[in-house]
Structure 1
Amino acid sequence: MIEAAQRWIGTPYRHQASARGIGCDCLGLVRGVWRDLYGDEPEMPPPYQPDWAERGGEERLMAAALRHFGAAVPVSEMRVGDLLLFRWRAEMPAKHAGILADGGRFIHAYEQAAVIESALVPSWRWRIAAVFRFPEKG
Protein backbone atom coordinates (compact mmCIF):
# COMPACT_ATOMS: atom_id res chain seq x y z
CA MET A 1 0.00 0.00 0.00
CA ILE A 2 2.60 2.50 1.11
CA GLU A 3 5.02 1.49 -1.63
CA ALA A 4 2.29 2.10 -4.21
CA ALA A 5 1.57 5.54 -2.74
CA GLN A 6 5.25 6.45 -2.43
CA ARG A 7 5.76 5.85 -6.16
CA TRP A 8 3.47 8.86 -6.71
CA ILE A 9 5.63 11.27 -4.68
CA GLY A 10 6.77 14.14 -6.89
CA THR A 11 3.83 13.82 -9.32
CA PRO A 12 2.73 17.40 -10.06
CA TYR A 13 -0.65 18.59 -8.80
CA ARG A 14 -3.24 18.61 -11.60
CA HIS A 15 -6.94 19.01 -10.85
CA GLN A 16 -8.96 15.88 -11.81
CA ALA A 17 -5.89 14.05 -13.17
CA SER A 18 -4.70 10.60 -12.11
CA ALA A 19 -1.47 9.80 -13.99
CA ARG A 20 1.64 8.96 -11.98
CA GLY A 21 4.53 11.24 -12.89
CA ILE A 22 2.30 13.46 -15.02
CA GLY A 23 -0.32 14.88 -12.66
CA CYS A 24 -3.00 14.18 -10.07
CA ASP A 25 -5.08 15.73 -7.35
CA CYS A 26 -5.78 14.05 -3.99
CA LEU A 27 -8.59 11.92 -5.42
CA GLY A 28 -6.43 11.07 -8.43
CA LEU A 29 -3.72 9.82 -6.08
CA VAL A 30 -6.18 7.49 -4.32
CA ARG A 31 -7.56 6.35 -7.66
CA GLY A 32 -4.05 5.62 -8.93
CA VAL A 33 -3.09 3.65 -5.83
CA TRP A 34 -6.36 1.71 -6.18
CA ARG A 35 -5.48 0.85 -9.80
CA ASP A 36 -1.96 -0.23 -8.75
CA LEU A 37 -3.42 -2.56 -6.12
CA TYR A 38 -6.65 -3.87 -7.67
CA GLY A 39 -6.68 -3.08 -11.38
CA ASP A 40 -9.75 -1.27 -12.69
CA GLU A 41 -11.38 1.46 -10.65
CA PRO A 42 -14.83 0.61 -9.27
CA GLU A 43 -16.28 3.84 -10.70
CA MET A 44 -15.14 6.95 -12.50
CA PRO A 45 -15.80 10.21 -10.68
CA PRO A 46 -17.91 12.75 -12.53
CA PRO A 47 -16.25 16.04 -13.50
CA TYR A 48 -15.83 18.34 -10.50
CA GLN A 49 -14.73 21.90 -9.92
CA PRO A 50 -12.07 22.80 -7.33
CA ASP A 51 -14.80 24.34 -5.15
CA TRP A 52 -17.26 21.40 -5.48
CA ALA A 53 -17.60 20.91 -1.70
CA GLU A 54 -18.33 24.57 -1.03
CA ARG A 55 -20.92 24.70 -3.81
CA GLY A 56 -23.09 21.69 -3.11
CA GLY A 57 -22.38 20.76 0.47
CA GLU A 58 -22.82 17.05 -0.35
CA GLU A 59 -20.59 14.40 1.24
CA ARG A 60 -19.63 12.98 -2.17
CA LEU A 61 -16.11 11.95 -1.19
CA MET A 62 -17.31 10.32 2.03
CA ALA A 63 -20.13 8.51 0.20
CA ALA A 64 -17.71 7.11 -2.39
CA ALA A 65 -15.34 5.93 0.35
CA LEU A 66 -18.20 4.16 2.11
CA ARG A 67 -19.23 2.47 -1.15
CA HIS A 68 -15.78 1.16 -2.00
CA PHE A 69 -13.90 0.86 1.30
CA GLY A 70 -16.71 -0.13 3.65
CA ALA A 71 -17.33 1.27 7.11
CA ALA A 72 -14.96 3.83 8.56
CA VAL A 73 -12.67 2.83 11.42
CA PRO A 74 -12.09 4.99 14.50
CA VAL A 75 -9.29 7.55 14.21
CA SER A 76 -7.73 5.95 17.29
CA GLU A 77 -7.35 2.71 15.30
CA MET A 78 -5.83 4.12 12.11
CA ARG A 79 -2.79 2.30 10.81
CA VAL A 80 -0.24 2.66 8.05
CA GLY A 81 -1.87 2.32 4.64
CA ASP A 82 -5.28 3.66 5.69
CA LEU A 83 -7.16 6.23 3.64
CA LEU A 84 -7.66 9.51 5.50
CA LEU A 85 -10.39 11.96 4.55
CA PHE A 86 -10.14 15.54 5.75
CA ARG A 87 -12.58 18.42 6.03
CA TRP A 88 -11.43 22.02 6.25
CA ARG A 89 -14.25 23.13 8.55
CA ALA A 90 -16.62 21.13 10.74
CA GLU A 91 -19.71 22.17 8.79
CA MET A 92 -18.19 21.39 5.38
CA PRO A 93 -18.04 18.05 3.55
CA ALA A 94 -14.79 16.09 3.48
CA LYS A 95 -12.74 17.48 0.60
CA HIS A 96 -9.17 16.15 0.85
CA ALA A 97 -7.67 12.67 0.95
CA GLY A 98 -4.35 11.11 1.84
CA ILE A 99 -2.80 7.78 2.80
CA LEU A 100 -1.27 7.24 6.23
CA ALA A 101 2.46 6.49 6.06
CA ASP A 102 5.01 5.43 8.65
CA GLY A 103 6.17 7.72 11.42
CA GLY A 104 3.04 9.82 11.80
CA ARG A 105 3.15 11.06 8.21
CA PHE A 106 0.75 10.90 5.27
CA ILE A 107 1.02 11.02 1.50
CA HIS A 108 -1.25 13.41 -0.37
CA ALA A 109 -1.45 15.62 -3.45
CA TYR A 110 -0.74 19.12 -2.22
CA GLU A 111 -2.59 21.75 -4.24
CA GLN A 112 -0.37 23.96 -6.40
CA ALA A 113 2.61 21.68 -5.70
CA ALA A 114 2.90 17.89 -6.00
CA VAL A 115 2.33 14.59 -4.25
CA ILE A 116 4.29 14.87 -1.02
CA GLU A 117 4.68 13.18 2.33
CA SER A 118 3.70 15.49 5.20
CA ALA A 119 3.76 15.19 8.96
CA LEU A 120 0.33 14.47 10.44
CA VAL A 121 0.66 17.42 12.81
CA PRO A 122 -2.23 18.52 15.03
CA SER A 123 -3.51 21.02 12.44
CA TRP A 124 -3.97 18.11 10.02
CA ARG A 125 -5.03 15.54 12.62
CA TRP A 126 -8.02 17.55 13.90
CA ARG A 127 -9.27 17.88 10.31
CA ILE A 128 -9.59 14.10 9.86
CA ALA A 129 -13.22 13.41 8.96
CA ALA A 130 -12.90 9.62 8.54
CA VAL A 131 -10.43 6.76 8.27
CA PHE A 132 -10.95 3.84 5.90
CA ARG A 133 -9.07 0.57 5.35
CA PHE A 134 -8.28 -0.40 1.80
CA PRO A 135 -10.14 -3.66 1.06
CA GLU A 136 -8.32 -6.97 1.31
CA LYS A 137 -7.14 -8.17 -2.08
CA GLY A 138 -9.33 -11.07 -3.18
Structure 2
Amino acid sequence: MTTVTTPDAIVTAARGWIGTPYLHQASHRGIGADCLGLLRGIWRELYGAEPEPVPPYSRDWSEPSGDERLWAAAARHLLPGGAEAPGQVLLFRMRSGGVAKHLGVQGAVGRKPTFIHAYSGHGVVESPLSAPWRRRIVARFTFPEV
Protein backbone atom coordinates (compact mmCIF):
# COMPACT_ATOMS: atom_id res chain seq x y z
CA MET A 1 0.00 0.00 0.00
CA THR A 2 1.31 3.44 -0.97
CA THR A 3 0.95 6.10 1.69
CA VAL A 4 1.47 9.12 -0.58
CA THR A 5 -1.13 10.71 -2.83
CA THR A 6 1.09 13.09 -4.78
CA PRO A 7 0.28 13.43 -8.47
CA ASP A 8 3.47 11.50 -9.30
CA ALA A 9 2.51 8.63 -6.98
CA ILE A 10 -0.98 8.44 -8.50
CA VAL A 11 0.32 8.46 -12.08
CA THR A 12 2.96 5.86 -11.21
CA ALA A 13 0.31 3.63 -9.65
CA ALA A 14 -1.94 4.02 -12.71
CA ARG A 15 0.90 3.29 -15.15
CA GLY A 16 1.66 0.12 -13.18
CA TRP A 17 -1.63 -1.26 -14.53
CA ILE A 18 -0.75 -0.69 -18.21
CA GLY A 19 -0.98 -3.96 -20.10
CA THR A 20 -3.68 -5.41 -17.84
CA PRO A 21 -6.34 -6.96 -20.10
CA TYR A 22 -9.82 -5.47 -20.19
CA LEU A 23 -12.28 -7.52 -18.15
CA HIS A 24 -15.71 -6.15 -17.24
CA GLN A 25 -16.15 -5.70 -13.45
CA ALA A 26 -12.62 -6.93 -12.69
CA SER A 27 -9.99 -5.10 -10.63
CA HIS A 28 -6.83 -7.21 -10.60
CA ARG A 29 -3.59 -5.75 -11.95
CA GLY A 30 -2.11 -7.99 -14.64
CA ILE A 31 -5.22 -10.18 -14.73
CA GLY A 32 -8.11 -7.93 -15.73
CA ALA A 33 -9.77 -4.58 -15.13
CA ASP A 34 -12.35 -2.26 -16.54
CA CYS A 35 -12.18 1.52 -16.04
CA LEU A 36 -13.78 1.40 -12.59
CA GLY A 37 -11.64 -1.59 -11.67
CA LEU A 38 -8.51 0.40 -12.54
CA LEU A 39 -9.61 3.20 -10.19
CA ARG A 40 -10.51 0.69 -7.49
CA GLY A 41 -7.05 -0.90 -7.80
CA ILE A 42 -5.31 2.47 -7.57
CA TRP A 43 -7.44 3.29 -4.51
CA ARG A 44 -6.37 0.04 -2.82
CA GLU A 45 -2.71 0.82 -3.54
CA LEU A 46 -3.07 4.31 -2.06
CA TYR A 47 -5.42 3.68 0.87
CA GLY A 48 -5.85 -0.04 1.50
CA ALA A 49 -9.51 -1.08 1.66
CA GLU A 50 -11.98 0.26 -0.86
CA PRO A 51 -14.36 2.89 0.57
CA GLU A 52 -17.56 0.95 -0.20
CA PRO A 53 -18.62 -2.32 -1.80
CA VAL A 54 -19.21 -2.11 -5.54
CA PRO A 55 -22.44 -3.78 -6.62
CA PRO A 56 -22.59 -5.64 -9.95
CA TYR A 57 -23.10 -3.28 -12.88
CA SER A 58 -23.92 -3.72 -16.53
CA ARG A 59 -21.89 -2.40 -19.45
CA ASP A 60 -24.50 0.28 -20.05
CA TRP A 61 -24.20 1.43 -16.42
CA SER A 62 -27.34 3.30 -15.57
CA GLU A 63 -28.23 4.54 -19.05
CA PRO A 64 -31.77 3.09 -19.07
CA SER A 65 -32.65 4.95 -15.86
CA GLY A 66 -30.53 8.04 -16.56
CA ASP A 67 -29.04 7.93 -13.05
CA GLU A 68 -25.52 9.36 -12.76
CA ARG A 69 -24.40 6.55 -10.43
CA LEU A 70 -20.72 6.66 -11.41
CA TRP A 71 -20.57 10.44 -11.00
CA ALA A 72 -22.32 10.22 -7.62
CA ALA A 73 -19.90 7.54 -6.40
CA ALA A 74 -16.89 9.60 -7.54
CA ALA A 75 -18.28 12.65 -5.72
CA ARG A 76 -18.68 10.59 -2.51
CA HIS A 77 -15.03 9.53 -2.35
CA LEU A 78 -12.99 11.96 -4.43
CA LEU A 79 -12.54 15.72 -4.25
CA PRO A 80 -13.55 18.17 -6.97
CA GLY A 81 -10.66 18.76 -9.36
CA GLY A 82 -9.48 22.15 -10.47
CA ALA A 83 -7.31 23.00 -13.43
CA GLU A 84 -5.96 20.13 -15.52
CA ALA A 85 -3.20 18.32 -13.61
CA PRO A 86 -1.47 14.93 -13.56
CA GLY A 87 -3.11 12.37 -11.29
CA GLN A 88 -6.63 13.72 -11.65
CA VAL A 89 -9.49 11.31 -12.18
CA LEU A 90 -11.33 12.15 -15.38
CA LEU A 91 -15.00 11.28 -15.81
CA PHE A 92 -16.30 10.95 -19.37
CA ARG A 93 -19.73 11.01 -20.98
CA MET A 94 -19.31 8.75 -24.00
CA ARG A 95 -22.28 10.14 -25.94
CA SER A 96 -24.37 13.27 -25.78
CA GLY A 97 -27.37 12.74 -23.54
CA GLY A 98 -25.93 9.56 -22.02
CA VAL A 99 -24.75 9.10 -18.46
CA ALA A 100 -21.10 9.51 -17.52
CA LYS A 101 -19.69 6.00 -17.64
CA HIS A 102 -15.94 6.03 -18.30
CA LEU A 103 -13.03 6.93 -16.01
CA GLY A 104 -9.34 7.53 -16.44
CA VAL A 105 -6.35 9.13 -14.71
CA GLN A 106 -4.61 12.13 -16.25
CA GLY A 107 -1.04 11.06 -17.05
CA ALA A 108 0.64 14.04 -18.68
CA VAL A 109 -0.41 17.63 -19.32
CA GLY A 110 0.96 20.27 -21.63
CA ARG A 111 1.62 19.85 -25.34
CA LYS A 112 1.02 16.08 -25.30
CA PRO A 113 -1.60 15.35 -22.63
CA THR A 114 -2.39 11.71 -21.86
CA PHE A 115 -4.65 9.64 -19.67
CA ILE A 116 -4.50 6.07 -18.38
CA HIS A 117 -7.70 4.04 -18.68
CA ALA A 118 -9.06 0.54 -19.21
CA TYR A 119 -10.66 0.44 -22.60
CA SER A 120 -12.70 -2.42 -24.04
CA GLY A 121 -10.72 -4.23 -26.71
CA HIS A 122 -7.44 -2.63 -25.59
CA GLY A 123 -6.96 -3.24 -21.87
CA VAL A 124 -5.27 -0.66 -19.66
CA VAL A 125 -3.48 1.82 -21.89
CA GLU A 126 -2.12 5.34 -21.83
CA SER A 127 -3.87 7.27 -24.58
CA PRO A 128 -3.44 10.77 -25.94
CA LEU A 129 -6.03 13.09 -24.42
CA SER A 130 -7.05 14.16 -27.90
CA ALA A 131 -9.90 16.50 -28.81
CA PRO A 132 -12.46 13.67 -29.16
CA TRP A 133 -11.66 12.44 -25.64
CA ARG A 134 -11.29 15.93 -24.16
CA ARG A 135 -14.75 17.04 -25.26
CA ARG A 136 -16.26 14.04 -23.44
CA ILE A 137 -14.85 15.05 -20.02
CA VAL A 138 -17.68 16.08 -17.72
CA ALA A 139 -15.84 16.21 -14.38
CA ARG A 140 -12.37 16.15 -12.86
CA PHE A 141 -11.63 14.82 -9.40
CA THR A 142 -8.58 14.47 -7.20
CA PHE A 143 -7.74 11.73 -4.74
CA PRO A 144 -8.07 12.84 -1.10
CA GLU A 145 -4.96 13.31 1.02
CA VAL A 146 -3.93 10.29 3.09
What residue in structure 2 maps to residue 44 of structure 1?
A: 53
- Give the SS at the match of 1:55: coil
| Map of 2:116 onto structure 1 | 107
Aligned to 1:25: 34
Q: 1:68 aligns with which of 77, 86, 89?
A: 77
| Match of residue 25 from structure 2 | 16
**Is the 1:83–1:98 Cα contact (8 Å) retained in structure 2?**
yes
**Unaligned residue ranges in structure 1 (runs of 5+):** none
Unmatched tracts of structure 2, length 5 or more: 1-9
Opposite residue 68 of structure 1, the aligned amino acid is H
What's the RMSD between the two structures over aligned residues? 1.0
Residue identity in the other structure for 1:20? R
Q: With structure 2 as the length reference, what TM-score do the two structures score?
A: 0.88
Compute the displacement of 1:92 (Å): 1.4
Cα deviation 1:35-72 (Å, max 9, x = unaligned) = 000100001211011112322211001000110013x2
What is the identity percentage for the equivalent residue pairs of Structure 1 and Structure 2?
55
Residue matched to 1:125: 134
Structure (1/2) with the larger helix percentage: 1
* Cα deviation digits, residues 109-131 of structure 1 (max 9, x gap): 01122100000000000000100
Shift of 1:91: 1.6
Poorly superposed stretches of 4+, deviation over 3 Å: none
